[in-house]
Structure 1
Amino acid sequence: MHPISIAMITDFFHPAVGGVENHVYMLSANLIRRGHKVIVITHSHQPDRVGVRWLVPSLKVYYIPFVPIASSATLPQFFTFLPYLRTILIREHIHLIHAHASLSSLGHEGILHSHLLGVRTVFTDHSLFGFDDAASILTNKLMAGTLKNVDAVICVSHTGRENTVLRGELFEKSNTDPHKISVRKSVYVIPNALIPERFQPSPPKSTEIITIIFLSRLVYRKGIDLLVATAPRICREFPNVRFLVGGDGPKLIDILQMREKFLLQDRIKLLGPVRHTDVCSVLTRGSIYMSTALTESFGIAILEAACAGLYVVSTRVGGVPEILPKDMISFANPDEDDVCRAVGEAIKIVSEGKHDPLLAHERIKTFYDWEQVAERTEAVYDAVLKSPQMELWERMQRTMQLGLFAGPIYTIILIVDCLFFLLLEWWMPREDMDFVREHWSQDMFTELARKATPAVD
């Protein structure tokens, strides 16, 4: 595939820390190494992260002056992002945008606006959502409106794909049978990955004391209530077990109260927030990694723990069963009794020396690799660029399929967006813009640095 210019658009990016942030950065870095030009467009971070910044290796980041409202997400605005996006895409000669995360307003708006510039669109969904609560219903309808006109969709697991297809209404009617529908062919599955060298296992530990690691955001969705319910039982049944709990969130108070109630201050140690650079050093202090999540699209933390040589105990939810071989993980239903059973099974396996951390690390190295992820994503880009582009009338027809009320509302937004774009074309003509002539070049930077450095006799 010949080199192209790509814009990653998301609300979730560094300096914030998380799975989406790491995915966007690592994918961008590997696409750059494959010869493509990649930029990132995200919102500002207080107090002074506004404007253009550079990250290695030659990744340009545009921090748009929008303020997040909660959890690093911005308020959906539809039209205020268009002047910024239009200017950036034209100046940077962008061929394709890649939006990330269902809760990213910038990603949804980027897909809405980019078709006006003839820029192709790809969307990656990183999460699982339900269908019966108010937040999920609103998010799903917003995503369905966006994905009606996207060129391709990427999911991080097969379970995530099924969830996204249902939430995004990614169906097509058969040309021969109007009552028959099928999933759109432009929905792909590309898993997450990691850098195995950053998660080297420690030498085998004594089984006199078995340490269970729990690293997660301390929120309801991560199953903290299950941890609170099972930790005292596990400590009572296995006197040689210790817990290391890392993370922060609203459920921290529940863990503190449980520890005080059962007098487990010497058995359950709380580490507080753990930086991503310190995750490996925490993981290598334990033998078992425990995950009690109630919903999980992929579970990058589980993959990191297995790569660091830990045996994994996890609830059987979402895309977690797709991550590891059966002999590296014990599954439990998301209930108290079954989690205790699975932890007991893991303790027995580790105590009897049936789990080899070094062998687990070597196996993970062959399963997940960012170069493979970048190569597969590149294939999606190539298919999108070779596919016919949707005209405005087709986009309006697709949008009207959203329903009796949502269809006309989204169509009106689409038409107003086109009119606003025409106004910007007249008010801020392309001929008056300063185009980016040179992107970052390591060779050019080295040459300039050499010339700027005075010669030493």
Structure 2
Amino acid sequence: MNPISIAMISDFFHPNVGGVENHIYMLSASLIRKGHKVIVITHSHAPDRVGIRWLLPSLKVYYIPFLPIALSATLPNFFTSLPYLRTILLREHIHLIHAHASLSSIGHEGILHSHLMGIRTVFTDHSLFGFEDAVSILTNKLLVGTLRNVDAVICVSHTGRENTVLRGELFERYEDEPTRLSVSRNVYVIPNALVADEFKPGPPNSTDIITIVVLSRLAYRKGIDLLVATAPRICRAFPDVRFVIGGDGPKLIDLLQMREKYLLQDRIELLGSVRHSDVRSVLIQGSIFMNTSLTESFGIAILEAACAGLYVVSTRVGGVPEILPKDMISFAAPDEDDVFRAMSEAINIVKAGKHEALKAHERVKTFYNWEDVATRTEKVYDAVIKSPQMELWQRMQRTMQLGPFAGPIWTIILIVDCVFFMFLEWWMPREDLDFVKTHWDQDNFSRLVNKEKRRIAEEQK
């Protein structure tokens, strides 16, 4: 497709570390290498991370001055973000915005506002949510309203697709059978990926001591309660097993108490928060990777561990069964006894030398790469750009179909947003904006880098 200007919009981005943050950065970098212009719009991080920053390779990041309320998410503002987003999207000549994550308020607002400027919209859902607890109910209602008028939706797994379709009510009715529904044709599945060369296996580990690695946010949904219950049993049944646990979160205190209670200070090492650049050095210490999540849309940590040569044990939840071949992973139900069974099976496999780290790395290397993800995402963008755009009246009609209560509320938001946009067009005419006329010249940057390298080499001589 022809090069276009793309804005990635999400509350979740660097310097915070996580799966969504890494996905946005790597996808942006791959699209830039394909010739597209990509910027990122997110909220401020820390007191000094406000304004414009540049990341390699020529990725411009706008940190707008909104403060997060919890877990990097901002409070839904709806209209407060419009002046910022309008100015940025117009001055950067953006053709398409790509919002990420269901819990990102600024992502939802970007989709709401972008249609007013004729900018096409794509949304990627990275997580699974339920339908019963208060957080899920509120998030799902917000998602339904946002996705009513989005041009395309991307999910990172087929299980995630089913979950998003149900939560976002992404259905179409057959004209001849109004009671019959089908999944919307603008819903796609594009998996996550990784840079395989960053997770090369280390030297072979001794089978005298089997090290089990856990890298996870220490939160309830990550199944840390299962880890707390099964780790003492595994240590008791296998005296030659030790744990290395990396991560931080509210469940850290439970792990500390468990370790003290069972006197396992010499068997269970707690590393605390681990930077992404240090993940490989932690993974190659072990032979088995343990994941006890209660819900998981894709599980990038599992993929990284398998690429580093570890045998994986995971609960059979969400999109995890889609990630790896059956001979590289053992599954368990999210139950203490079954997790213990699966871990026992994995320990015996590793002890018998039936799992080859280098072979596993080479296999994973062929499964996932960002070049393929970017190519598939380009096809979604191309389909969106070529599709007819919805007019305001059509968007209002679709929004009213949300129901007798949510429909009028979302329609009022849509109308007020349109009126506010018209006011901004009068108050701050787009002709007066400081449009971006030049962008980062990658060739010139490469020349400067090579020149600096030569200078440093000459000085070292």
Asked if these proteins are the same fold (TM beyond 0.5), I'd say: yes
Cα offset, 1:442, TM superposition: 2.3
Instruction: After superposing the two structures, state which structure 1 stretch, 200-209 or 86-95, moved more.
Output: 200-209
Structure 1, gaps ≥5 residues long: none
Structure 1 vs Structure 2 CA RMSD:
1.5
Cα deviation code 1:91-135 (max 9, x no counterpart): 000000000000000000000000000000000000000000111
Cα offset, 1:46, TM superposition: 1.4
Cα offset, 1:202, TM superposition: 1.4
- Within 1, Cα distance between the matches of 2:131 and 2:272? 33
**Equivalent in the alignment of 1:8:** 8
- Within 2, Cα distance between the matches of 1:77 and 1:397? 23
Letter in 2 for 1:43: H
- Within 1, Cα distance between the matches of 2:123 and 2:88? 19
**Equivalent in the alignment of 1:442:** 442
Q: For residue 282 of structure 2, give the secondary structure of its aligned residue in structure 1.
A: helix
Residues 178-189 of structure 1 aligned to structure 2 (within 5 Å) = 178-189=178-189
Cα deviation code 1:380-399 (max 9, x no counterpart): 00000000001111111111
Q: For residue 298 of structure 2, give the secondary structure of its aligned residue in structure 1.
A: coil
- Within 1, Cα distance between the matches of 2:448 and 2:94? 27
CA 130–446 in structure 1, closer or farther in 2 if over 3 Å, else same: closer
Letter in 2 for 1:395: R
**Equivalent in the alignment of 2:87:** 87
Cα offset, 1:450, TM superposition: 10
**Equivalent in the alignment of 1:245:** 245
Cα offset, 1:275, TM superposition: 0.5
Q: For residue 98 of structure 1, give the secondary structure of its aligned residue in structure 2.
A: strand
Cα deviation code 1:53-110 (max 9, x no counterpart): 0000000000000000000000001001001111111100000000000000000000
Letter in 2 for 1:66: F
- Within 2, Cα distance between the matches of 1:230 and 1:48? 43
**Equivalent in the alignment of 2:146:** 146
**Equivalent in the alignment of 1:42:** 42
Letter in 1 for 2:416: V
**Equivalent in the alignment of 2:123:** 123
Cα deviation code 1:194-245 (max 9, x no counterpart): 0000000012221110000011000000000000000000000001000001
**Equivalent in the alignment of 2:57:** 57
Cα offset, 1:47, TM superposition: 1.4
Cα deviation code 1:242-280 (max 9, x no counterpart): 000111111001001111111111110111111000000
Letter in 1 for 2:325: P
Query: Where does structure 1 differ by over 4 angstroms across 4 or more consecutive aligned residues?
Result: 445-452
**Equivalent in the alignment of 2:335:** 335
- Within 2, Cα distance between the matches of 1:26 and 1:367? 17
- Within 2, Cα distance between the matches of 1:137 and 1:404? 17
**Equivalent in the alignment of 1:137:** 137
Letter in 1 for 2:270: L
Letter in 2 for 1:410: W
**Equivalent in the alignment of 1:170:** 170
Residues 192-341 of structure 1 aligned to structure 2 (within 5 Å) = 192-341=192-341
- Within 2, Cα distance between the matches of 1:262 and 1:204? 30
Structure 2, gaps ≥5 residues long: none
Cα offset, 1:178, TM superposition: 1.1
CA 450–167 in structure 1, closer or farther in 2 if over 3 Å, else same: closer
Cα deviation code 1:397-440 (max 9, x no counterpart): 11111111111000000000000000000110011111110110
CA 170–208 in structure 1, closer or farther in 2 if over 3 Å, else same: same
- Within 2, Cα distance between the matches of 1:442 and 1:303? 31
**Equivalent in the alignment of 1:428:** 428
TM-score w.r.t. length of structure 2: 0.97
Q: For residue 349 of structure 1, give the secondary structure of its aligned residue in structure 2.
A: helix
Cα offset, 1:444, TM superposition: 3.6
**Equivalent in the alignment of 1:105:** 105
**Is 2:318 aligned against 1:350?**
no
Cα offset, 1:294, TM superposition: 0.2
Cα offset, 1:449, TM superposition: 8.9
- Within 2, Cα distance between the matches of 1:167 and 1:174? 20
Q: For residue 69 of structure 1, give the secondary structure of its aligned residue in structure 2.
A: strand
- Within 1, Cα distance between the matches of 2:173 and 2:401? 12
Letter in 2 for 1:298: F
- Within 1, Cα distance between the matches of 2:448 and 2:364? 41
Cα offset, 1:445, TM superposition: 4.2
Q: For residue 136 of structure 1, give the secondary structure of its aligned residue in structure 2.
A: helix
- Within 1, Cα distance between the matches of 2:181 and 2:396? 20
**Equivalent in the alignment of 2:160:** 160
Cα deviation code 1:165-186 (max 9, x no counterpart): 0000000111221111111000
**Is 2:374 aligned against 1:374?**
yes
Letter in 2 for 1:162: E
**Equivalent in the alignment of 2:71:** 71
TM-score w.r.t. length of structure 1: 0.98
- Within 2, Cα distance between the matches of 1:422 and 1:407? 23
**Equivalent in the alignment of 2:392:** 392
Letter in 2 for 1:8: M
Letter in 1 for 2:21: E
Letter in 2 for 1:181: L
Cα deviation code 1:327-351 (max 9, x no counterpart): 0000000000000000000001000
- Within 1, Cα distance between the matches of 2:444 and 2:283? 41
Letter in 1 for 2:381: Y
- Within 2, Cα distance between the matches of 1:22 and 1:435? 29
